[in-house]
Amino acid sequence: MRKHIAVFLGSICLAAPAAGAQAPAGGNAPQAPTAAPAAAPARALSIGWVDLERIVQTSAEGKVASARVQALTQKKSGELGEKNKQLQGAQQKLQAGGTVLNDSARAQLEREIDRLNVDLQRMQQDAQQELQELQQELQAEFMKKLSPIIERVVKERNINMLFSRVEAGIVFADPGLDLTDELIKRFDATAGTPAPAATGAKPTAPAPAPKPPAATPPATPPPPGR
């Protein structure tokens, strides 16, 4: 309301001098004010969006990267599983020994269990770090190859803003603005790497670091009978 009033009052203030203006004493008519130059037309905003997760899942480069992560995950899981079997075997041996083991043998077996526990924890930490480093390396390589393709498509279509569907938190977007399929098509054409055959469900995210089964803490054997 105040805005409308201000505009209305401004119109009156601008019109009033024109209505009440009189010619100066000299008889010369007042000169008309110089017109302001026309403002340049606003540039139309062109936007688009992509689904980067789908590019990772379905592009040839993305499938190769996912296969490498899965292979390392399986390898580390196997190594951790073997170490955990050794730990469980030592624990079972200690429990089954009962009163049969003498103090020296029992102490040696307990030290072995402690060592296996430490080894297992260290192996798990190393596996997590190795997987994380591989994922970061593959992600950097992936985006290094994909970025020039994105730049070309954006330039060809005169797009001002390009959004990532997940990262931008887009709830709804016009499917006509989706550039995902176009990017996958061009990405595969320049990759030169055939996509591996799909086996089972496609991974939707980097595989988590392998974790061994929870080790059962060594049970305290009953004291030897006196």
Q: Among 135, 148, 153, which Cα is nearest to 206's?
A: 135
Q: Among 167, 144, 215, which Cα is nearest to 50's?
A: 167
**What whole-number distance in Å separates Cα of residue 92 and Cα of residue 149?**
58
Q: Mean pLDDT, 10 residues at a time, over the chain (226 residues)?
A: 39 41 51 63 83 95 96 97 96 85 90 96 97 97 96 95 90 92 95 49 42 47 44
Cβ(162)–Cβ(150) below 8 Å: yes
Cβ(91)–Cβ(215) below 8 Å: yes
**What whole-number distance in Å separates Cα of residue 59 and Cα of residue 187?**
7
**What whole-number distance in Å separates Cα of residue 124 and Cα of residue 150?**
38
Residue 97 has a pLDDT of 81
Q: Which positions ≥6 away from 1 have C-beta within 8 Å?
A: none
Strand partners, 163: 49
**What whole-number distance in Å separates Cα of residue 47 and Cα of residue 176?**
11
Residue 223 has a pLDDT of 46
Residue 27 has a pLDDT of 52
Q: Tokens at residue 118, please?
A: 């430490």
Helix axes 60-97, 103-156, angle to 10 degrees: 170
Q: Whole-model pTM?
A: 0.62
Q: Tokens at residue 131, please?
A: 């997987």
Residue whose structure tokens are 């007042």? 30
Cβ(26)–Cβ(132) below 8 Å: no
For residue 187, the tally of other CB atoms under 10 A from its CB is: 20
pLDDT tens-digit series, residues 128-140: 999 999 999 999 9
17 SS3 class? helix
Q: Among 66, 61, 55, which Cα is nearest to 184's?
A: 55
pLDDT tens-digit series, residues 170-198: 889 899 999 999 999 999 998 764 444 44
Q: Which DSSP state fits 178?
A: B
Residue 8 has a pLDDT of 34
Q: Cα–Cα–Cα angle for 164, 167, 169, nearest 5°?
A: 95
Residue 11 has a pLDDT of 38
Counting beta carbons within 10 angstroms of the beta carbon of residue 66, is it exposed (0 to 12), middle (13 to 18) or buried (19 or more)?
buried
